[in-house]
Amino acid sequence: MQISLVGVNHRTAPITVREKVAIRSVELHHYLSLLRDHATHGIILSTCNRTEVYIANRDDHDTGETGLSFFQTHLNIPSTDLTRYAYVITKQKAVAEHLFRTACGLDSLIIGEYEILGQVGNALDIAEKAGMVNLPLRHLFQSAIRTGRRVREETNISKNALSVSSVVVDLATRVIGDLSNCRLLIIGAGEAGRLVAKAVRDRGTPQIIVASRTPDRASALAATLGGSPVDLKKLVRELITCNIVVTCAESPDWILDVHHVTSAMRQRPELPLVVIDIAVPRNVEPAVEQINNVFLYNIDDLTEISEANRKQREEEITGATEIICGELDKLAAWWQALETRPTVSTLMEKAEAIRSAQLDKTLKKLRPLSQEERDYLEAMTKSIVAKILEDPLHYLKNNTDSSDDNDKLIRQLFQFKVEKPE
Ligand SMILES: NC(=O)c1ccc[n+]([C@@H]2O[C@H](COP(=O)([O-])OP(=O)(O)OC[C@H]3O[C@@H](n4cnc5c(N)ncnc54)[C@H](OP(=O)(O)O)[C@@H]3O)[C@@H](O)[C@H]2O)c1
């Protein structure tokens, strides 16, 4: 069994590339069905920081190539961009290490952020429903989630952790200064919208307006903030009076374009407008940046603030890495047992077949024995076989470094073939 990973993330690729390969949650099922044409088993993890495809296949398939071809064919990324921005990890342990670090929030823009743990679990659940998960992939993801939880419980990595939403508010404060007289518009009432709303409310922003595709969702979020909902189709009217706009909708198209913002700015040319677009793909047409008195930021612009967060958490990263190493060892032992299980059980079955056949032959040549005598012979022969196999099986199960070679040698020595697990 081989597990590989192909991905693009915030460290390897800018938003302009990440947004092309981002898979929205509503599209995940569709993309998993496309992945099925390339691999029997796979999981897609697509968040604002990354799009990654984990693939499990038999040893004779090149899973790295499979992942690359999936990216190229279905995510419309040219091969030159793929070479430049994508990472391919084909060593199973390195794949696990990457996923464990990701689940722990060490690979996030905001170190220790919580959201990624739910996103890893969600990626597993959706792939399970699509029938794309086999035992090794499931165990890999479940181990990553357990590691992510342990790191958050046993270190201070997430204590007072920043989140994208709190960094958004920090950025707005840097640009505008005091937020207490600001009118803030949030576009998107999903999880990100909720987190941003909470962060701005906690900082005392008095006037919060929410727009979302589904009016009821906008109303529900606005109600929790003492704010008001607005119609997504009437954004220009709202832009005229706003100081800050945060966009976080999972829309495939621009929600705010140059036309909208220009129309609004004509009514308020002197008043600056800060637009922070944290959606991936972006919700705001990049040319909006050219409009006078408009200050447009995207999720990559949060990097500077998040770097300070990384420095503060250096010590916790060391503690988290120790937990990750221990969990990786446990996973390696599990993989080893899984890989050797067919060889071990076939060898034991073969030995048992020989033992019972030989015992039958012998019993036929002897005088009729009592049941007690037959039981003694049965127990003795079983114990001889178990003792002979004990050391080789122990060696096979515990020598993980050269497991493939050992497995092959045993099969050659004892002359049998095994079906490897899917
Ligand atoms: N969650 C985070 O921590 C986080 C952090 C940083 C960035 N982001 C980015 O923020 C965006 C939203 O993420 P989320 O976690 O909030 O997702 P979510 O909980 O699934 O919510 C999706 C949001 O997108 C809106 N939406 C979906 N399809 C739309 C369409 N075709 N047109 C207009 N609006 C549409 C939904 O509106 P209705 O519900 O009103 O229909 C909802 O507000 C994503 O681009 C994500 O990458 C998320």
User: Which CATH number is 50's domain given?
Assistant: 3.30.460.30
- Asked if residue 320 is part of any domain, the answer here is no
Percent of the chain with pLDDT over 90: 68
User: Cα(101)–Cα(147) distance, rounded to whole angstroms?
Assistant: 9
Are residues 178 and 294 both part of a single domain? Answer: yes
Are residues 291 and 208 both part of a single domain? Answer: yes
Question: What confidence score (pLDDT) does residue 77 get?
Answer: 84
Task: Mark which of 121, 140, 160 sits at the end of a domain.
Answer: 160
- Asked if residue 150 is part of any domain, the answer here is yes
- Asked if residue 316 is part of any domain, the answer here is no
- Cβ(219) – ligand 1 distance below 6 Å: no
Nearest CA to ligand 1 atom 9: 279
Instruction: Give the CATH number of the domain where residue 236 resides.
Output: 3.40.50.720
Q: What is the arithmetic mean of pLDDT over 107-120? A: 92
Q: What is the arithmetic mean of pLDDT over 47-65? A: 84
Cis ω before 281 (30° cut-off from 0)? yes
Q: In what order do the strands lie in the sheet with 50-57?
A: 41-47, 50-57, 2-9, 87-89
Instruction: Compute the distance from residue 248 Cα to the ligand 1 centre, in Å.
Output: 6
pLDDT at 66 over 90: no
User: Cα(403)–Cα(383) distance, rounded to whole angstroms?
Assistant: 27
- Cβ(104) – ligand 1 distance below 6 Å: no
Instruction: Compute the distance from residue 254 Cα to the ligand 1 centre, in Å.
Output: 13
CA atoms within 13 A on the CB side of 325: 6
Nearest CA to ligand 1 atom 29: 251
Classify the C-alpha dihedral 117-161-324-155 as positive or negative. negative
Nearest CA to ligand 1 atom 1: 192
Give the number of the atom of ligand 1 that is nearest the alpha carbon of residue 279. 45
- Asked if residue 239 is part of any domain, the answer here is yes
User: Which is higher by pLDDT, 245 or 395?
Assistant: 245
Domain span at residue 156 reads: 2-160
| Alpha carbon distances (Å) from 197 to 176, 193, 211, 233, 397 | 17, 6, 12, 21, 53
- Residue 46 contacts by C-beta under 8 Å, 6 or more apart in sequence? 21, 22, 23, 24, 28, 52, 123
- Asked if residue 193 is part of any domain, the answer here is yes
User: Cα(275)–Cα(256) distance, rounded to whole angstroms?
Assistant: 10
Question: What confidence score (pLDDT) does residue 322 get?
Answer: 96
* Max Cα–Cα distance, the chain, nearest Å: 111
Q: How many domains does the chain have?
A: 3
pLDDT digits (tens, 9 = 90+) for 135-162: 999 999 999 999 999 999 999 888 776 7
Instruction: Compute the distance from residue 190 Cα to the ligand 1 centre, in Å.
Output: 5
- Asked if residue 328 is part of any domain, the answer here is no
Nearest CA to ligand 1 atom 2: 192
Residue 206's pLDDT band, with cuts at 50, 70 and 90, is: confident
Are residues 217 and 231 both part of a single domain? Answer: yes
pLDDT at 103 over 70: yes
Percent of the chain with pLDDT over 70: 97
Beta bridge partners of 3: 56
Question: What confidence score (pLDDT) does residue 397 get?
Answer: 78
Q: What are phi and psi of 381, to 5 degrees?
A: -65, -40
- What is the value of pTM for the model shown? 0.86
User: Cα(32)–Cα(124) distance, rounded to whole angstroms?
Assistant: 11
Residue 174's pLDDT band, with cuts at 50, 70 and 90, is: confident
Residue 175's pLDDT band, with cuts at 50, 70 and 90, is: confident
Nearest CA to ligand 1 atom 13: 192
User: Cα(240)–Cα(266) distance, rounded to whole angstroms?
Assistant: 9
pLDDT at 29 over 80: yes
Are residues 235 and 365 both part of a single domain? Answer: no
pLDDT digits (tens, 9 = 90+) for 76-100: 888 888 889 999 999 999 999 999 9
Q: Please state, rounded to an integer, the average pLDDT across all residues of the chain.
A: 91
Q: What are phi and psi of 33, to 5 degrees?
A: -70, -30
Cite the active site residues: 48
Are residues 238 and 263 both part of a single domain? Answer: yes
- Cβ(25) – ligand 1 distance below 6 Å: yes
Instruction: Tell which residue, 224, 225, 234, 216, has the closest CA to residue 184.
Output: 225
- Cβ(122) – ligand 1 distance below 6 Å: no
Are residues 6 and 154 both part of a single domain? Answer: yes
Are residues 168 and 274 both part of a single domain? Answer: yes
Instruction: Tell which residue, 174, 171, 153, 154, has the closest CA to residue 162.
Output: 171
- Residue 156 contacts by C-beta under 8 Å, 6 or more apart in sequence? 316
Beta bridge partners of 244: 184, 274
pLDDT at 278 over 60: yes
Among all chains, which residue has been given the structure tokens 């922070």?
276
- Cβ(214) – ligand 1 distance below 6 Å: yes
Residue 420's pLDDT band, with cuts at 50, 70 and 90, is: low
Nearest CA to ligand 1 atom 45: 279
- Asked if residue 172 is part of any domain, the answer here is yes
* In contact, 93 and 332? CB cutoff 8 Å: yes
Are residues 287 and 371 both part of a single domain? Answer: no
Instruction: Tell which residue, 209, 195, 186, 118, has the closest CA to residue 162.
Output: 195
Task: Mark which of 160, 175, 210 sits at the end of a domain.
Answer: 160
Are residues 191 and 256 both part of a single domain? Answer: yes
Residue 403's pLDDT band, with cuts at 50, 70 and 90, is: low
Question: What confidence score (pLDDT) does residue 401 get?
Answer: 64
- Asked if residue 313 is part of any domain, the answer here is no
- Cβ(250) – ligand 1 distance below 6 Å: yes
Task: Mark which of 305, 322, 349 sits at the end of a domain.
Answer: 305
Q: What is the arithmetic mean of pLDDT over 243-247? A: 96
CA 17 centroid distance within chain: 18
pLDDT at 264 over 90: yes
Question: What confidence score (pLDDT) does residue 422 get?
Answer: 55
- Cβ(192) – ligand 1 distance below 6 Å: yes
- Cβ(115) – ligand 1 distance below 6 Å: yes
Are residues 156 and 168 both part of a single domain? Answer: no
| Alpha carbon distances (Å) from 194 to 200, 233, 397 | 10, 21, 49
Residue 256's pLDDT band, with cuts at 50, 70 and 90, is: very high
Q: What is the arithmetic mean of pLDDT over 277-286? A: 97
Question: What confidence score (pLDDT) does residue 153 get?
Answer: 94
Q: What is the arithmetic mean of pLDDT over 360-382? A: 96
Are residues 102 and 196 both part of a single domain? Answer: no
User: Cα(47)–Cα(351) distance, rounded to whole angstroms?
Assistant: 51
Are residues 29 and 96 both part of a single domain? Answer: yes
